[in-house]
Amino acid sequence: TKLWKAEGNGTFLSSAIAEAGVVIARGGTVAFPTETVYGLGADAGNTEAVEAIFAAKGRPSDNPLIVHIANIGQLDLLVEEVDATSRLLMERFWPGPLTLVLPVKVGAVSARVTAGLPTIAVRMPDHPVALGVIRAAGCPVAAPSANRSGRPSPTLAEHVRTDLDGRIDGIVDGGPTGVGVESSVVVVEEGGRLVRLLRPGGITVDDLKAAVPEAQIAFEAVSEVTEAPRSPGMKYTHYAPRGRLVVVQGSERLRTEWVREAVADAKRAGDRTGVLTVAERASLYEADLVVGCGREDRMETVAQELYAALRRFDDNGITYIVAEGYESAEGIGLAVLNRLIKAAGNQLIRIGESES
């Protein structure tokens, strides 16, 4: 696996980007930073290259990939038609962390990309390295997150190395990503009157409401594990650390007590214990590893640090982790809570006053 590194001042050798693009154009797989997480890219039209992504990640083949474009002209190659609401959303949020599911143009990409669906997920990332690599590749680039399937998504090139070194052709190291959780995935339905949020992410429900005030925004937090998921990725365990993880929600007082007791119990049972909380609250707990992930008063910092925090528990051999869930899931908090609950395999504990 070839490693291209950013210059000290953060500007990129354009030759590194050009080389990475050529590797993709020739059917290789290259990981590169986006504004959300690192993606593992390949030519979306090349079935063998796309298969190499699935193989490197160990990803189930019925889980379709997001196709990344660098300019709006590339969209016409991929999709049949764009409804007015989707058009408004791309004008407002592209480049940026919003993925739109649209009717696919037959034969535009390998059937492996769409997993045989009549739709395709497309986004234009807001990152100079990602845009540069796609431009240099000269084709739409299929790119899921650059982690082994089931592991937390990578927000540093180091995470990609840990998971995929030796399994892919190259990694472009552009430093830490920005948002820290993946793009929001939406599909527009009912003639533009409904925007269905399939995966919460970098673009919030309020952002969507502001952009298309006439449309209704729908998100079903609990419909994620169903027989026929709307977005195939939703049925898989994601982002999971190796230890058992539970997420606990409730008033601050009860939650603190519950976490302390759960950690004490687990210690007695022989576990190596971990607590995932925010910086302000880290000193409240005693465990083998307490991670203050971001600041509660700045949820975007929690999102930025979340996946690196989950990986730290693995690195420290933690076997039991309690994560504090937050009461309000507004803004990017919705995506953070969604990822935490998925990481916990849907193990969410809600403590109410009545149980005290």
Q: What is the identity of the amino acid at 348? A: L
Q: Whose CB is nearest to ligand TXA?
A: 233
Tell me the backbone φ, ψ of residue 32, rounded to 5 degrees. Answer: -145, 155
Q: 178-197: which residues touch ligand TXA (CB under 6 A)?
A: 182-183, 185
Task: Mark the segment that binds ligand TXA (CB under 6 A) among 44-52, 96-104, 248-256, 340-348.
Answer: 96-104
Long-range contacts of 128-131 (CB under 8 A, 24+ apart): 128/12, 129/6, 129/12, 129/17, 129/32, 129/33, 129/172, 129/174, 130/32, 130/33, 130/34, 130/35, 130/39, 130/68, 131/70, 131/95
Q: Which of 59, 65, 66, 6 is nearest to 32 (CA)?
A: 6
d(CA 32, CA 290): 30
180/241 with CB nearer ligand TXA: 180
Residue 114 engages ligand TXA in binding (rule: CB under 6 A)? yes
**Binds 47: which of ligand TXA, Mg ion, none (CB < 5-8 Å by kind):** none
d(CA 196, CA 220): 9
Minimum CB–partner distance for residue 164 and ligand TXA (Å): 13
Cis peptide before 128 (omega within 30 of 0): no
Residue 145 engages Mg ion in binding (rule: CB under 5 A)? yes
Residue 149 engages ligand TXA in binding (rule: CB under 6 A)? no
First to last CA, the chain: 54
DSSP, residue by residue, 171-213: EEE--S-SS-SPPEEEEEEGGGTEEEEEE--SS-HHHHHHH-T
Which residue in the set 85, 86, 99, 338 belongs to the binding site for ligand TXA (CB under 6 A)? 99
Residue 331 engages ligand TXA in binding (rule: CB under 6 A)? no
Tell me the backbone φ, ψ of residue 308, rounded to 5 degrees. Answer: -65, -35
Q: How many residues bind ligand TXA (CB under 6 A)?
A: 28
x/- string (CB under 6 A) for ligand TXA, residues 14-53? Answer: --------------------x-xx-x--------------
Residue 163 engages ligand TXA in binding (rule: CB under 6 A)? no
DSSP, residue by residue, 211-232: H-TTSEEE--TTTTS-SS-SSG
29/145 with CB nearer Mg ion: 145
Which residue in the set 20, 49, 90, 101 belongs to the binding site for ligand TXA (CB under 6 A)? 101
90/278 with CB nearer ligand TXA: 90
**Binds 110: which of ligand TXA, Mg ion, none (CB < 5-8 Å by kind):** none
Minimum CB–partner distance for residue 263 and ligand TXA (Å): 32
Binding site for Mg ion (CB under 5 A): 145
- The footprint of ligand TXA (CB under 6 A) covers 34, 36-37, 39, 63-66, 97, 99, 101, 114, 117, 119-121, 125, 143-145, 182-183, 185, 198-199, 231-233
